[in-house]
Structures are given as C-alpha cells and as structure tokens.
Chain A
Amino acid sequence: MSTLAAVAALRATETGRAERLTTVRHTHLDDGPFVLVPLTLAGEACAPLAALAGTDRERPTLLTVRQPRDRAERFRFAERLAALLLPYIDQCRTAETETYTVGRGAEKEERRRLLRAPQLLVPGGEGIAYVRLLGRLTRLRAVEGPYAVDPSVPALGKWLTWFADRAEFTGSCLLQALTRLLSAHWATGQSPAEDSHLASLLAWIDPPDGLTGAQAAREAEDPLRFPPAGPATDVVFDQTLHDLMSRYDEAANGRGREAVGRQIDRELRGQMLPTWELVWRGVDLLRELPEGRHVAERWAYDRRLFSEYAAYLDEDGRPQARRDHAVGAARRLARMEEAMARYDAERAFDDPLVMAEYELSGEAFTGLVVARDEDRFAPGTRPGSMVWRPTITVRSELPVRLTAGKEVKCPARPGQKAEIVEVVPDCEGHTVVIQLNGGFNRVRKPPAPPGTLAEIGETVTYTSVDPKSMPSVLPAEEDTPWTHGGPPKPYEPTAEDAEEIWE
C-alpha cells in the first residue's frame, strides 16, 4: 500500500467512510457480466455444494448438490454450471470481429479478434481459487469409459482454468473478484484482511443512512445477516446443513426425500442470496466511476486472448497440463511482471491521483508551463547537422527529483518523447527545462501543429514512468537452448490424468 493510500485510510477512520483512491475506474465492467457465487462443502477438496449464477441480476440460477459426497452429484453440478456458462461464452464467440495489427515493420500482421469476451465475476479472492480448483477437477475428466462425464464437463474445466490463469495477470478483466476491484478503488478505515470480507468492505464504501462505515462494517460481520461470501461456509450453518443432509439420506421414501431436498435448496439459497446482492451492488458502485483511458485497450487485449483461446479449442482442444513445464513457467512469470509494470504505468497515466504517488516518490512532477522556445534547434547526431528540438520550461512548486538527461513522458501527450535538459532549484520550488524530441505529427520544423506543444500557463505532468516501455524478449519456445532443457515437449493428456480414485 502506498503512502497516499495510507493517508486515505487514516482519513477514512476520521470521516467514517471509505476514501477514493482513484479518480476513474481502472477496470472494464461488461454490460452483461456472468456472476458466480459458489459454496463448497467444508473439509473436502473442492466438493461443490451450491452456486448462484447467471447474468440476470433479478433471476439468478440456483444450483445445489444435496449430497456432495456423491461423486456423480458433483459432476452433475458441473454439468449444470456448464449449461449456464458455456452458452454465455458461445454468445461472445459468435460476436462480430474487428481487425487489429500485431508487430511492426516487416513482421507486421493483420489479425481479427472478437468484439465481445466473457467476464466472470466472483465475490472474493477465494472465489478465484475455487474457479481454478473446479477447473482442475473437471478439465481432465474422461468422457468415455468408467466414470465418464458429459462432454460439457471437461469443456467447462478448460474454460474455468483459462479464466483462472488470466486472473493472475494484473489488469486482465476476464475473471475478477469484487473485493479486489473495490479495494483497488477505495481505502477503508479497516485492515486489508477485513477488506477481503465483501459485506464489510461495501459497508465502508456505501454505509446505510445513519451509520458510519465502521459501525456498518461491524454489523456486516454478523453471519446471520451476511453469510460468508464463500466458497467456505459458516460453521453454524454447516450444523443445520448437516442435520438436513442426514435427514435427506435417511428419508423413508422419495417424497420425503424430495421435501428435505427442497429445504436444503432453500437454506443454501438463503446463504448465497445476500452475497449475490452485494456483488451487484459493488458493480453498481464501480459503474458510477468514469472509465480510465487505457481500460478499453486492456479489454481489447483480453478479447484478443479470448479469440485466440476459442480458436485453439476448435483446432486442438487439449486441456491445460496439470503443471506448467519449466520454460512455460519462466515465460509466464516474465509476462506477469510485464503486465504488472504496464498496468501500474497505465493507471498513473489515466489518473492524476495515482500519478500523485509517483510525484511523491520523485518519479514524476507537475507544474505550470512558464516559457517555451518553439524555434530552438540543437546539434543532431550527424556532425554539423541541426535538428528541431523545441523546449518548454515548467515551474513546479514542489521539489523535482528527476535530473537532467532523464527521458520523460507526459500523460497528456503520451506519444511525445521528451527529455529533461536542466533542473534549477530556487527558494520555492524548481524550474525544469524539457526538450521535446518528437510528437509533432511528423512535422520537422516550426511552427508546431496546434496542440502538440504545451501552451504557456498550461499545467503539465512529466514522469519517467512509461507504459510503452519495451518488454523483455525471451527466445521463442522452439529456440529454448539445451542449457534450459531444450524445447519443451507439448502436453499430452494421459490416462493417468483422467484417472481419479474415488472411495
């Protein structure tokens, strides 16, 4: 957590309401996201117990497993979830496409991507772990032979695994946890551990009339009013459920059994419905924030990956391996680091409140343009040549810690390259001379096209942070050197993968 976030948290303890950490929303929120509120049976390795799911806020679909210890029941649950989620994914797959280019120069290539991608929302971080686990449980199942499952079950597993894998990349919006989204945009007067509880987090952001966030958060901890957001269940509720399940197993006849079964369904629905409402309320709150500039670009990347995975499933369709091979893991880690750096930089470019953190750490500064030299020429790289390099002079009231020679960028003109020529401290701040090395719509001599050169009196921010910085280059997978084990063998599903002993 940054110093600005710490100050926000301190102020929240005083005001009794969550404080904004951003001025815009840094997340894509789809018009029709798929919300999943899952519950699992305590003590088991991913025994799905129930879920409320769907894209219609008013009409969630209730899925329950009345006897989760029964293997067949578990996979029937997966089948029913697949019947909800796969058509939603298929809708996105049949959407229109658009053209985009990858690479540059000789390697430039035109490709197509879908205009829609699925967005899966779960209440909290544990929900993401559940999606991963349910994906692992289902994607390797065999559709023939003993213990065969419906073909929709492994299909669901592959998609869930894909969602969970993407969720590890900062900035990806395909699978998101509401608690994470909300705490990225608001600071509360409680600890991060408490913020992972959706009901208390929302209580701080939007307390009911007459209550402070702190009071509302305490009330939200009551498991009777706000049952745990799952997938873990409340211990006291488990006792009720245990009794009902025993009665279900011992029922004398089908009718009695069905009656108890319906009661189990009702109880489970009661446990999940408050969370379902909270998720949508969180979505409402986030929708009220204007969207950051880079959000659409990131979503376009998500859509591209969705298009690629959909195409892969059509062409190849093998499930994800149980574990990454070493080369894959290294590449994945590198890509994750890049995604995080890019996301951090983009957020700062889109949001002055996020950029303020870089100002505080000395990686950015803001000031007024007090002078500009539009007709300046400087010696070029070839001997004797002169190139057009106008300058602007910026006066900052806060100390500037960037130094001469540093390459900087301005969020208002992200395509323009600039470097600091001189930093002069005085009694009340700093004066910075910045040379502009391009970004004049290919014009090579004055006057500068309108808008490309900052006006005197304009407030500008310059920073050494750059969202477009080049990512590190790893050799292609087939060029993996022998020192690193050589090119990895592609994953072949084995009979052992599908085999699971059920006792």
Chain B
Amino acid sequence: MPPQHPVDLPDSRLAALRGPRPPQPYTARKITALTANPACSRRAVLDAVGIDKALLAQRMGYEPRFGQSPFALAREQAFEALVKWGGYAELIRLLREQLGIPVEEAGVTDLNEVGGDTSLARRVKETRGLLTRLASGSDERLILDRPLLTLEVAGQTAYLAPQALTHRVGGKFYVAEIRSFPAIDGQANPTAVAQTAKQAAVSVLALHRTFEELNLDPEQIAHEFLLICPKDFSNRPYGRLVDLRQELDALRFQLTRLRRADDLALALPPSATLDTDRDVDELDSSVGALDASYTPDCLSFCEMARYCRDEATTCASPTRLGGTVRNTLPGVDSTRTTLAYLDGVHAPGPAEAAAIDRLRAAERLRRLRRGGAA
C-alpha cells in the first residue's frame, strides 16, 4: 500500500481538467453508482476529477431531476438527531438488543471535528488513532460518530464517513447506518435496503483497508452492519443487522475492474476541459470524447444520464431500450443496423445471423397474426 495523501492531491492532469473550482469529494453514494456501472469511463473520470456533475449537466442543457425535497431532508435530520439524542441512548439500546451484549453506557467521540478542526486530514488521523487504541484491546466503550475513513477508488482517494462505528462488541467492530425510510412490520423497502447495504459495504471495505494499513487484525470487523430506521409509521428507531458478505465481494470485484481514472483521462486531447465555467461547445466535445456506457438505469442515479441518453439515441444504441431488448440482439450494436437486416437492406454477418433469423421469424409472425391491430 502506498502512503495515503494527507489531503486530496489529485493528479495534476485531473486538476487541470477540473479548472479552478474546488473538487467535489467522493461519497459512498458516488462509489456505489460507479460500481453499478463500472464500464462507464465518463462517470469514472467526472467523479475522479471531482466536478459538479449536476452543474455540468445543467450547463450542457440537461437540467438534472435530482435533489432532495426539503421535507425529506428535514425528516432525515430529525431522525438522525433522535437516534443520537441523549448520549446516543437509542443507538445504545439497539446495540444491546441486536448484538445481545450488556451495554449500559458508552462513551461517544464525535469525529465531525477534532478540537474545532474539521479538515479531512485531521479527522482521518484522529479516527486512525482511536481505531488503533480500540482494536489493540482497550476496553473502552466508545462509539465513533462520523469517523472518517479513506478508500482508493480508480486511483483517487475517497473519504467516507459512516454515521457511526461501534466499539468492539464481542470482539467485532460494527458500522451503523441511520436511514429515514420505514421498516413496516419488520420489512423495509428492499430497494432502499439494498442501496444502504451497498453504501455500508463501501464503509466496511474502507475500514478493512484502514486496518490493513495500521497492521490491525481485519478479522475484528463484522461483515454485518446495523441498519437503523423508523419503526412502522412512528419515529421510534428500529434496528436490524444486515449481512454484507455478498455486497463486499461484489464491491471488491467491481473496484478491481475500475480503470484508473487518470489513465482514462489520457484519452482526452490536451485541450480538453471539464471546467464548468468554460464554453458549452468545449465541454460538449470533451465530455463526448469520454466513453459512456448508458443504460436506462442511469436515469435514476446519474446527473449526466439524459445527456448520455440523447447520445445513445443518436447512435441508435440498443441498450437505450433496456436490457431485455438488448439481449435479443447479441452482437448487434445498433437498432438501425438491425432494422436494415430485418428489411433485407443489408445481410447480417455470420455472428449475427442466428439472432437476426429469430427476429425475422418473430416479425413475420407478427405481421401474419396482427389482424385488425393496426
């Protein structure tokens, strides 16, 4: 492991691409989005450069439809405050219930700042110090609030702050995530849980890396995390341990597949820029020079998705119609070409012949059986 940079010091090429604006930090959310679509070089570079993708999309004429409702934001903050209220009484209660150990009281260290210092470097250093002390067998009952961990993603350092990290419980450290979606009759929205689990896996993996760097035993890290959300329609916190082994394996695999962002950026011409204050045409040609891998899923999480969708439509990419249509066209990378094959304008090559034959048979049947359905 190379020594970690104390502060974000990206490759000068990436810094040059970004321009004068300060970089946007990596978040667990960004990393899960990136690993959801690891083939997307465009997103990999934009995230590594640290530009504001929402602003970039807006500048290019694609107002992103994301953002958080003031109601949702207020609710989230209120719930987190409730869990942490009164010396973390609710968190400690849930730890006692879910991990089955007597925790009557626990000290808490708030790592949002260290003696008034909120710099990333200072928080990382303090987190590491505390981890070393706790992991080496000290009995202190200490909950870390917003510890700051680092993780290398596509050649860049990401800073991650899980909502809480418990002291060793039964010899293990647990990451806790607080979310405001409800668990109704013990069941929360599976999509929301899956999303949270992926984000928690990012934190757990960062914890693993930190332990390795500090020569601590990573066996002390639980492969489960404590998910805390409101019970039913109330505000009462409810907690459940969620297994992360699958997410951790998937995440490790995806991270190894991510190419280094600075290598990807080498493909750009020297004049390229991603500086959101520059001319739209310049931005357009630079963004366009980065390979995207658009799928309709991108619309739900990526600020640039609508830009990429238009691009995919222009080059008639079958993926824009969704995975199932795409799967009926193995080897064919354009819907226009497919239609030309179907109409007999071009003859398919041997690689596509079987797929096209099936589509032709389907189309023939469609014509024959359509009857009155115009």
Which residues of A pack against B, CB within 8 Å? 1, 3-4, 6-11, 13-14, 20, 22-23, 41-46, 133, 136-137, 189-194, 214, 223, 233, 235-236, 238-239, 241-242, 322-323, 352-353, 355-356, 359-360, 398, 500-503
Contact = CB atoms under 8 A, between A and B. Distances in A.
A193 B296 contact: yes
Interface string B187-199: 0000000000000
A238 B69 contact: yes
A214 B71 contact: no
A502 B66 contact: no
A238 B363 contact: no
B369 A501 contact: no
A3 B366 CA distance: 10
Interface in B7-28: none
A41 B69 CA distance: 9
Interface string B337-371: 01100100000000000000011011101101111
A9 B325 contact: yes
Interface residues of B, number: 56
B316 A13 contact: yes
A233 B370 contact: no
Interface stretch (B33-41, B97-105, B161-169, B178-186): B178-186
B75 A503 contact: no
Contacts of A7: 342, 359, 362-363, 366
B335 A13 contact: yes
A501 B335 contact: no
Nearest to A214: B313
A42 B69 contact: yes
A136 B184 contact: yes
A235 B232 contact: no
Counting chain B CB atoms within 10 Å of each CB, the highest count among A7, A9, A136, A189 belongs to A7
Given A13-B321, A20-B370, A356-B365, A137 B69 contact: no
A43 B76 contact: yes
A10 B65 contact: no
B222 to A, nearest CB: 28
Contacts of B66: 235
B7 to A, nearest CB: 33
B368 A356 contact: yes
Given A1-B325, A43-B73, 17 more contacts: A10-B359, A20-B370, A43-B74, A43-B75, A137-B233, A189-B321, A191-B296, A193-B297, A238-B69, A242-B69, A323-B185, A353-B370, A356-B366, A356-B368, A360-B362, A500-B234, A503-B234
Given A7-B362, A13-B335, A45-B181, A235 B69 contact: yes
B138 interface: no
A217 to B, nearest CB: 11
B106 interface: no
A304 to B, nearest CB: 29
A356 B369 contact: yes
B325 to A, nearest CB: 5
6 contacts: A7-B366, A9-B321, A10-B325, A13-B335, A42-B75, A502-B234
A353 B371 contact: yes
A360 B235 contact: no
Contacts of B233: 45-46, 137, 500
B184 A45 contact: yes
Contact of B232 (A1, A3, A44, A45): A45
Contacts of A233: 69
Contacts of B370: 20, 23, 353
B119 interface: no
B70 A503 contact: no
Contact of B322 (A20, A136, A192, A359): A192
B14 to A, nearest CB: 30
B50 interface: no
A392 to B, nearest CB: 21
B297 A4 contact: no
Contact of A3 (B180, B185, B322, B359): B359
Contacts of B372: 23
B313 A136 contact: no
B230 to A, nearest CB: 6
A136 B70 CA distance: 26
A41 B365 CA distance: 48
A411 to B, nearest CB: 12
B125 interface: no
Residue of B69, B232, B361 with highest tally of chain A CB at under 10 A: B69
A401 B366 CA distance: 19
A223 B362 CA distance: 37
B84 interface: no
Contact of B71 (A45, A189, A190, A242): A242
A8 B65 CA distance: 30
A239 B300 CA distance: 21
Nearest to B187: A323
B266 interface: no
For the complex of A and B, the 5 pairs showing the least CB-CB separation, nearest first, are: A43-B72, A191-B296, A45-B182, A43-B75, A42-B69
Nearest to B230: A45
Given A10-B325, A13-B335, A359 B236 contact: no
A193 B184 contact: no
A10 B335 contact: yes
B69 A191 contact: no
Nearest to A358: B365
Contacts of B230: 45
A492 B359 CA distance: 55
A6 B369 contact: no
B271 interface: no
B328 interface: yes
B353 to A, nearest CB: 16
Given A44-B71, A193-B296, A223 B361 contact: no
A324 to B, nearest CB: 11
B68 interface: yes
Contacts of B121: none
B42 interface: no
B215 interface: no
B373 A22 contact: yes
A73 to B, nearest CB: 14
A136 B358 CA distance: 47
Nearest to A185: B373
Interface string B51-78: 0000000000000011111111111100
Contacts of A8: 366
B320 interface: yes
A361 to B, nearest CB: 10
Nearest to B299: A193
Nearest to B328: A6
A39 to B, nearest CB: 12
B184 A133 contact: yes
B136 interface: no
A233 B67 CA distance: 12
Given A13-B335, A194-B299, A352-B371, A4 B365 contact: yes
Nearest to A461: B369
